[in-house]
Structure 1
Amino acid sequence: MSDETILPEGSDQSLHDSVPVTGMYKDWFLDYASYVILERAVPAIEDGLKPVQRRILHAMKEMDDGRFNKVANIIGQSMQYHPHGDASIGDAIVNMGQKDLLIETQGNWGDVRTGDSAAAARYIEARLSKFALEVVFNPQTTEWQLSYDGRKREPITLPVKFPLLLAQGVEGIAVGLSTKILPHNFRELIEGSIEILKGNKTNVLPDFLTGGMADFSEYNEGLRGGKIKVRARIEEEDSKTLLIKEIPFGTTTDSLIDSILKANDKGKIKIKKVVDNTAKDVEIQIQLAPGVSPDVTIDALYAFTDCEVSISPNACVIIDEKPVFLTVNQILEYNTHQTKDLLKRELEIRKGELMEKLLFSSLEKIFIENRIYRDIEECTTWEAVLEAIDKGLDPYKPDFYREITTDDLLRLTEIRIKRISKYDSFKADELMKRLQEELKEVNYNLKHLTEFAIKYYQNLLEKYGKGRERKTEIRTFDTIQAAVVAANNAKLYVNRVDGFVGFGLKKDEYVCDCSDLDDIIAIRKDGKMVVSKIQEKLFMGKDILFVGVFRKNDERMTYNLIYLDGTSGRSMVKRFQVGGITRDKEYDLTKGTKGSKVLYLTANPNGEAETITVYLTQGAKARVKVFDFDFAEIEIKGRGAGGNILTKYPVRKVQFKMEGKSTLGGLNVYYDPSVGRLNTDQRGRIIGNFLGDDKILVCYKNGDYELTGFELTNRFEPSDVVLIEKFDPNKVISAIYYDGGTKTYFVKRFLIETTTVNKRFNFISDHKQSYLKVVTTDNQAQVEVTVQKGKEEETLEYDLEMLIDVKGWKAIGNKVSANTVKEIKLIVSEKAQDSESNDEAEGDEEILESDESDDLEIGTKIDLSPKKDDEEQLGLF
Structure 2
Amino acid sequence: MSDLENNDPIKNDDALHVSTPVTGMYEDWFLDYASYVILERAVPAIEDGFKPVQRRILHAMKEMDDGRFNKVANIIGQTMQYHPHGDASISDAIVHIGQKELLIETQGNWGDNRTGDGAAAARYIEARLSKFALEVVFNPQTTTWQLSYDGRKKEPVTLPVKFPLLLAQGVEGIAVGLSTKILPHNFRELILGSIEILNGNTPTLYPDFSTGGYGDFTEYNDGLRGGKIKVRAKIEEEDNKTLLIKEIPFGTTTNSIIESIIKANDKGKIKIKKVTDNTAKDVEIQVQLAPGQSPDMTIDALYAFTDCEVSISPNACVIIEDKPIFLTVTEILKYNTVQTKNLLKKELEIRRDELLEKLLFSSLEKIFIENRIYRDIEECETWEAVIATIDKGLEPYKPEFYREITTEDIVRLTEIKIKRISRFDAFKADELMRKLESELKEVNYNLKHLTQYAIKYYNGLLEKYGKDRERKTEIKTFDTIQATVVAANNAKLYVNRADGFIGYGLKKDEYVCECSDLDDIITFKKDGTCVVSRIQDKVFVGKDIIHVAVYRKGDERMVYNLIYLDGTSGRSMVKRFQVLSVTRDREYVLTKGAKGSKILYFTANANGEAEMVTVYLTQGSKARIKVFDFDFSTIEIKGRGAGGNILSKHPIRKIQLKMEGVSTLGGLDVYFDDSIGRLNTDGRGKLIGNFLGDDKIIAFYKDGSYELTTFEVTNRYQINDLVILEKFNHERPISAIYFDGISKNYYVKRFLIETSTINKKFNFISDHKNSFLKIVSTDKQPQIKVDLLKGNNVEEVEYDVDMLIDVKGWKAVGNKLSSHTIKDITLLASAQSGETNSQEELKVGDEIDLKINKEEDDEDDDQLGLFK
Per the alignment, do residues 702 and 838 of structure 1 end up closer, same or farther by CA in structure 2, a change over 3 Å counting? closer
CA deviations 1:220-240 (Å, max 9, x no partner) are 111101110000000001000
- Counterpart CA distance in 2 for 1:367 and 1:742 is 83
Using the TM superposition, give the Cα deviation of residue 755 of structure 1 relative to its aligned residue in structure 2, in angstroms. Answer: 1.3
- Counterpart CA distance in 2 for 1:67 and 1:36 is 35
- Counterpart CA distance in 1 for 2:157 and 2:826 is 60
Per the alignment, do residues 558 and 832 of structure 1 end up closer, same or farther by CA in structure 2, a change over 3 Å counting? farther
Using the TM superposition, give the Cα deviation of residue 200 of structure 1 relative to its aligned residue in structure 2, in angstroms. Answer: 1.0
Quote the residue 1:44 is aligned against: 45
- Counterpart CA distance in 1 for 2:309 and 2:415 is 72
Per the alignment, do residues 327 and 816 of structure 1 end up closer, same or farther by CA in structure 2, a change over 3 Å counting? farther
CA deviations 1:184-226 (Å, max 9, x no partner) are 0000101111111111110110000000001000111111011
Per the alignment, do residues 16 and 72 of structure 1 end up closer, same or farther by CA in structure 2, a change over 3 Å counting? closer
Quote the residue 1:867 is aligned against: none
Quote the residue 2:7 is aligned against: none
Per the alignment, do residues 823 and 99 of structure 1 end up closer, same or farther by CA in structure 2, a change over 3 Å counting? farther
Quote the residue 1:864 is aligned against: none
Tell me if the contact between 2:688 and 2:853 (Cα under 8 Å) persists in the aligned partners: no
Using the TM superposition, give the Cα deviation of residue 704 of structure 1 relative to its aligned residue in structure 2, in angstroms. Answer: 1.3
Find out whether 1:697 has 2:691 as its counterpart.
no
Alignment of 1:314-333 (within 5 A): 314-333=315-334
- Counterpart CA distance in 1 for 2:207 and 2:771 is 34
Alignment of 1:360-379 (within 5 A): 360-379=361-380
Tell me if the contact between 1:525 and 1:598 (Cα under 8 Å) persists in the aligned partners: yes
Using the TM superposition, give the Cα deviation of residue 768 of structure 1 relative to its aligned residue in structure 2, in angstroms. Answer: 2.9
Quote the residue 1:60 is aligned against: 61
Using the TM superposition, give the Cα deviation of residue 775 of structure 1 relative to its aligned residue in structure 2, in angstroms. Answer: 1.6
- Counterpart CA distance in 1 for 2:13 and 2:366 is 76
Using the TM superposition, give the Cα deviation of residue 438 of structure 1 relative to its aligned residue in structure 2, in angstroms. Answer: 0.5
Find out whether 1:393 has 2:394 as its counterpart.
yes
CA deviations 1:763-809 (Å, max 9, x no partner) are 11112343323221111212344556666666554432233322221
Quote the residue 1:504 is aligned against: 505
Tell me if the contact between 1:145 and 1:154 (Cα under 8 Å) persists in the aligned partners: yes
Find out whether 1:657 has 2:665 as its counterpart.
no
Tell me if the contact between 2:610 and 2:661 (Cα under 8 Å) persists in the aligned partners: yes
Quote the residue 1:492 is aligned against: 493
Quote the residue 1:4 is aligned against: none
State the TM-score, normalizing by the size of structure 1: 0.93
Quote the residue 1:206 is aligned against: 207
AA of the residue aligned to 2:277: D
Tell me if the contact between 2:679 and 2:714 (Cα under 8 Å) persists in the aligned partners: yes
Using the TM superposition, give the Cα deviation of residue 833 of structure 1 relative to its aligned residue in structure 2, in angstroms. Answer: 5.8
Per the alignment, do residues 226 and 596 of structure 1 end up closer, same or farther by CA in structure 2, a change over 3 Å counting? same
Per the alignment, do residues 817 and 148 of structure 1 end up closer, same or farther by CA in structure 2, a change over 3 Å counting? farther
Per the alignment, do residues 254 and 791 of structure 1 end up closer, same or farther by CA in structure 2, a change over 3 Å counting? farther
Tell me if the contact between 1:143 and 1:155 (Cα under 8 Å) persists in the aligned partners: yes
- Counterpart CA distance in 1 for 2:659 and 2:430 is 111
SS at match of 1:661: strand
- Counterpart CA distance in 2 for 1:788 and 1:140 is 65
- Counterpart CA distance in 1 for 2:786 and 2:182 is 50
Per the alignment, do residues 154 and 745 of structure 1 end up closer, same or farther by CA in structure 2, a change over 3 Å counting? farther
Per the alignment, do residues 264 and 838 of structure 1 end up closer, same or farther by CA in structure 2, a change over 3 Å counting? closer
AA of the residue aligned to 2:443: V
AA of the residue aligned to 1:69: N
Tell me if the contact between 2:215 and 2:231 (Cα under 8 Å) persists in the aligned partners: yes
Quote the residue 1:856 is aligned against: none
Quote the residue 2:844 is aligned against: none
AA of the residue aligned to 1:736: I
Cα RMSD (Å): 2.1
SS at match of 1:302: helix
Alignment of 1:223-242 (within 5 A): 223-242=224-243
Using the TM superposition, give the Cα deviation of residue 646 of structure 1 relative to its aligned residue in structure 2, in angstroms. Answer: 0.8
- Counterpart CA distance in 2 for 1:746 and 1:348 is 67
Tell me if the contact between 1:303 and 1:480 (Cα under 8 Å) persists in the aligned partners: yes
Alignment of 1:2-81 (within 5 A): 19-81=20-82
Alignment of 1:421-440 (within 5 A): 421-440=422-441
State the TM-score, normalizing by the size of structure 2: 0.94
Quote the residue 2:845 is aligned against: none
Tell me if the contact between 1:686 and 1:840 (Cα under 8 Å) persists in the aligned partners: no
Tell me if the contact between 2:704 and 2:772 (Cα under 8 Å) persists in the aligned partners: yes
Which shows bigger deviation, 129-138 or 742-751? 742-751
Quote the residue 1:673 is aligned against: 674
Per the alignment, do residues 757 and 19 of structure 1 end up closer, same or farther by CA in structure 2, a change over 3 Å counting? same
- Counterpart CA distance in 2 for 1:470 and 1:838 is 32
- Counterpart CA distance in 2 for 1:225 and 1:533 is 32
Using the TM superposition, give the Cα deviation of residue 737 of structure 1 relative to its aligned residue in structure 2, in angstroms. Answer: 2.5
SS at match of 2:176: coil
CA deviations 1:648-697 (Å, max 9, x no partner) are 11000111111111111000000101111000011111111000100100
CA deviations 1:367-391 (Å, max 9, x no partner) are 0011110110100000100111111
- Counterpart CA distance in 2 for 1:453 and 1:792 is 50
Per the alignment, do residues 706 and 363 of structure 1 end up closer, same or farther by CA in structure 2, a change over 3 Å counting? same
AA of the residue aligned to 2:677: G
Quote the residue 1:614 is aligned against: 615
- Counterpart CA distance in 1 for 2:726 and 2:751 is 16
Quote the residue 2:305 is aligned against: 304
Tell me if the contact between 1:300 and 1:482 (Cα under 8 Å) persists in the aligned partners: yes
SS at match of 1:501: strand
AA of the residue aligned to 2:726: E
- Counterpart CA distance in 1 for 2:51 and 2:308 is 31
Tell me if the contact between 1:786 and 1:794 (Cα under 8 Å) persists in the aligned partners: yes
- Counterpart CA distance in 2 for 1:697 and 1:561 is 39
- Counterpart CA distance in 2 for 1:699 and 1:739 is 18
Tell me if the contact between 1:778 and 1:832 (Cα under 8 Å) persists in the aligned partners: no
Quote the residue 2:736 is aligned against: 735
Quote the residue 1:706 is aligned against: 707
- Counterpart CA distance in 1 for 2:597 and 2:57 is 82
- Counterpart CA distance in 1 for 2:555 and 2:210 is 41
Quote the residue 1:451 is aligned against: 452
SS at match of 2:81: coil
Using the TM superposition, give the Cα deviation of residue 128 of structure 1 relative to its aligned residue in structure 2, in angstroms. Answer: 0.2
Quote the residue 2:595 is aligned against: 594
- Counterpart CA distance in 2 for 1:672 and 1:790 is 47
- Counterpart CA distance in 1 for 2:396 and 2:792 is 71
Which shows bigger deviation, 31-40 or 799-808? 799-808
Per the alignment, do residues 95 and 820 of structure 1 end up closer, same or farther by CA in structure 2, a change over 3 Å counting? farther
AA of the residue aligned to 1:653: K
- Counterpart CA distance in 1 for 2:24 and 2:785 is 84
- Counterpart CA distance in 2 for 1:826 and 1:739 is 19
- Counterpart CA distance in 2 for 1:795 and 1:332 is 53
Tell me if the contact between 1:195 and 1:201 (Cα under 8 Å) persists in the aligned partners: yes
The number of residues matched between the two structures is: 834
AA of the residue aligned to 2:222: E
Quote the residue 1:647 is aligned against: 648
* Structure 1 portions without partners, runs of 5+: 1-10, 851-877
Quote the residue 1:533 is aligned against: 534
Quote the residue 1:573 is aligned against: 574
Tell me if the contact between 1:107 and 1:123 (Cα under 8 Å) persists in the aligned partners: yes
SS at match of 2:381: coil
AA of the residue aligned to 2:552: R
- Counterpart CA distance in 2 for 1:784 and 1:664 is 44
- Counterpart CA distance in 2 for 1:794 and 1:451 is 49
CA deviations 1:380-421 (Å, max 9, x no partner) are 000100111111011110000000001100000000000000
Quote the residue 1:350 is aligned against: 351
Quote the residue 2:170 is aligned against: 169
Quote the residue 2:272 is aligned against: 271
AA of the residue aligned to 2:477: T
AA of the residue aligned to 2:221: N
AA of the residue aligned to 2:416: I
Quote the residue 1:136 is aligned against: 137
- Counterpart CA distance in 2 for 1:494 and 1:153 is 79
Per the alignment, do residues 279 and 588 of structure 1 end up closer, same or farther by CA in structure 2, a change over 3 Å counting? same
Tell me if the contact between 1:527 and 1:589 (Cα under 8 Å) persists in the aligned partners: yes
Quote the residue 2:6 is aligned against: none
Quote the residue 1:561 is aligned against: 562
Alignment of 1:463-862 (within 5 A): 463-786=464-787, 796-829=797-830, 831-832=834-835
- Counterpart CA distance in 2 for 1:839 and 1:705 is 18
Tell me if the contact between 2:724 and 2:852 (Cα under 8 Å) persists in the aligned partners: no
